[in-house]
Amino acid sequence: MKKKILITTAIDYVNDVIHIGHAYQKILADCVARFERIRRGKENTFFVTGTDEYGQKVYNVAKKLGVATKEFVDDISIKDREQQDSLKISYDRFIRTTDADHVKTASDFFKKVYDAGYIYKNIYKGLYCEGCEAYKTEKDLVEGKCPLHQNTEIQIVEDENYFFKFSEFRDFLKELYEKNADFVLPNQRYKEMYSFIDNLEDVPVTRRKENLPWGIQCPIDQDHVLWVWFDALVNYLTFGLQVNTWDKDTKIVHFLGKDNARMHALLWPCMLKAAGYELPETVYVNAFLSLNGKKISKSLGNVISPKELVEKYGVDPVRYYFLRYGPIVEDADFSDSHFQTVYNADLANGLGNTVARLAKMAEKSAIEFNVNTSQNSILKPEFTQYFDIFRVDQAAQYIWSKLSDLDKHINEKTPWAIEDKGELREILEYEISSIREIAEMCKPFMPETSEKILQTFSGGLVVAPPSFFPRIQ
């Protein structure tokens, strides 16, 4: 196992404030980061997220609203950060692509790739989706539309650009994929990305400034700015270099949605190879989240912000729900009714009820308990195996299987009916030790709840707390 780990999420484009669909990968990455801080140490775990602030789309939105582009992106970035903070996302840096150090890193990166002979000047004539901020081929479209942005007209553009020699990296990518079966996870995304390799074409990596004045200045041509994707992907490197983690001793893991998979799983490793940097170890691609059976879309009026959900249900229930039932492999649908069913079953009637029962019995016993305060449970191989493959949903299932075992033990041993103090102490200390182990494993998922449970059963006399998860009626 490598000593250090660098965990990233896709940075959010600032044409609008993020919704719960965007937030899923942040919760996922945060859960992994919290676990790794326990396993590798806080000093060896680094986690970055942030906002993507250049490009045509954001420039046009700001222009339409009649505000300065920088003023507009500042506002959205602040609001995005507030949304993440409401979920207790424990990032080490919230990076912005307008940050001075990123601007320099992206510019230097471009120059490295150019000096290595992988960038040339030519005329691009073809298709462009402003929604994706990406160039398209006819094969990418469905009935002439971008599958991800059905309401956005595909543009036919002809312009002078600098091109990245993407097509020269086909053999490199094939070798990378064939030697590293876990480079892209889950497996169906690996197969999907591999299928694109033979059809790679050179891609424009600049825009003429007269057409798009909002971008990072191209270091070799004053009339051009960097293409937003070429700049945005470099944000991971900006942070990695800042904290000295872009090296062979660091496991680099990218978390992102499947709409960003091709850029991260195909273009990004080729860019890094061209510039002479280490490659990420894993690109984890989650599926999509829908709302009440429909695509989450502002135009449809079905957007829910993370902050709204947290204010309604609490941060730990929201985190738990998405970590266990979110789109980690397959598309998932969110609804209030499903959330409430899960909340009542898993949290109110499950974890919350078990804690309440045990705390009341321990309080009534008036016994001063000795407890095991170790963190061994969270580092047992039978639990860590799920984090090794980033299946936090399966890790949550494992925790709840342990909770079921504890409930079974309580029901079989019936501590409420035992009069012998010695026997009662033995049973309750075992059960308290078990709930503490469960609480330790819950730390990456529900940090506030975990801490409350550990404090309740910290040793000595137990005082039963108020209900952690009151039932939703």
Kind of pairing between the strands at 119-129 and 155-164:
antiparallel
Output DSSP code: residue 347. I
DSSP annotation string for 128-178 = EETTTTEEE-GGG-BTTBBTTBTTSPPEEEEEEEEEE-GGGGHHHHHHHHH
Beta carbons of 70 and 27 less than 8 angstroms apart: no
Q: Which two tokens stand for residue 214?
A: 């909002």
Token duo for residue 331: 């598309």
Distance CA 410, CA 355 (A): 11
- The amino acid at residue 445 is F
Separation of alpha carbons 328 and 324, rounded Å: 9
Local structure of residue 92 (DSSP, 8 states): S
Burial of 464 (0-12, 13-18, 19+ CB in 10 A): middle
How far apart, in whole angstroms, are the C-alpha atoms of residue 351 and residue 343?
10
Backbone angles phi, psi at 350, to 5 degrees: -95, -95
**First-to-last CA distance in the chain?**
47
Q: Which of 168, 92, 156, 97 is closest to 128 using CA atoms? A: 156
Q: Which residues are annotated as catalytic?
A: 19, 22, 129, 132, 146, 149, 295, 298
> Distances from the Cα of 323 to the Cαs of 36, 80, 333, 344, 366, in angstroms?
16, 20, 13, 16, 37
